[in-house]
Amino acid sequence: MFENMNSITLEEKASYLKEGAYLVKVKSVKSSDKEEKKPKIPYVEFTVEAANGSIAKLKFQGSDSQTSEKAREIRLKIFKQFLYNCGVRDFANWVAACKETVGKKVNVCLAKRDYWTNNLDNKPEIRHVVEYKFSNPENKSIMFDVKYNKGLSQNDMRAYNEACKFANTADSEAPNDMPF
């Protein structure tokens, strides 16, 4: 019934870093340029690993023709600061600069951001994502502060509550003439 168990390779699930400050090692980098289905806004994603083996994916958004000049400048500054904190000093070629980070250590701050969406049952629910906030060089630690986390804005909370009311109303108004 359970023959050839030696031929089966078990895979360990990766555990992900939660909000906080960590000294991490850059394990890999990928660009949205390599994806078959191109996203609306290009990005570069670094996979980093903490000493305990937990990982995080740090995504840096690029820009497109719709991105404002101010947003473009801020994104570029955040991205360059991360590369710099990883020890990169030559920024003439951004692809080479990204590849240079692999194997380097850097302190990162990860923060939790709440958002709401509809689940598979089309019911509103609040979820969260852990995102890159900022970094420091390997020799300069970071003190995490919960104020870095971002809950739903008042407008988003209002929209979520309205969606919940609508979802509950839609459920209660469903015809109840089923024979079972």
Q: Give residue-wise pLDDT tens across range 98-154.
A: 999 999 999 999 999 999 999 998 899 999 999 999 999 999 999 999 999 999 999
Measured over all CA atoms, what is the biggest interatomic distance in the chain, rounded to whole angstroms? 72
Is position 160 within any domain? no
Token pair recorded at residue 18: 């939660």
**E strand or H helix at 21:** strand 20-31
Helix (H/G/I), strand (E/B), else coil: 161 = helix
pLDDT band at 172; cut points 50, 70, 90: very low
Is position 80 within any domain? yes
Is position 180 within any domain? no
Phi–psi pair at 46, nearest 5 degrees: -105, 130
Please state the rounded mean pLDDT for residues 12-17.
Answer: 85
Is position 88 within any domain? yes
pLDDT band at 179; cut points 50, 70, 90: low
- Domains: count for the chain: 1
Q: Which amino acid is at 40?
A: K
Is position 41 within any domain? yes
Domain limits at 133? 15-114+128-151
Is position 72 within any domain? yes
**E strand or H helix at 115:** strand 105-118
In this predicted structure, the answer to whether residue 177 has a pLDDT above a threshold of 70 is no
pLDDT band at 169; cut points 50, 70, 90: low
Place of tokens 């008042």: 154
Residues 6+ apart with CB under 8 A from 30: 44, 45, 47
Q: Say if residues 58 and 108 touch (Cβ distance below 8 Å).
A: yes
The predicted pLDDT at position 174 comes to 47
In this predicted structure, the answer to whether residue 176 has a pLDDT above a threshold of 80 is no
Over residues 62-112, the pLDDT tens digits come to 999 999 999 999 999 999 999 999 999 999 999 999 999 999 999 999 999
Is position 25 within any domain? yes
The predicted pLDDT at position 171 comes to 54
pTM for this structure? 0.82
Is position 52 within any domain? yes
Lowest mean pLDDT among 3-17, 44-58, 68-82: 3-17
Rounded to whole angstroms, how far apart are CA atoms 170 and 72?
42
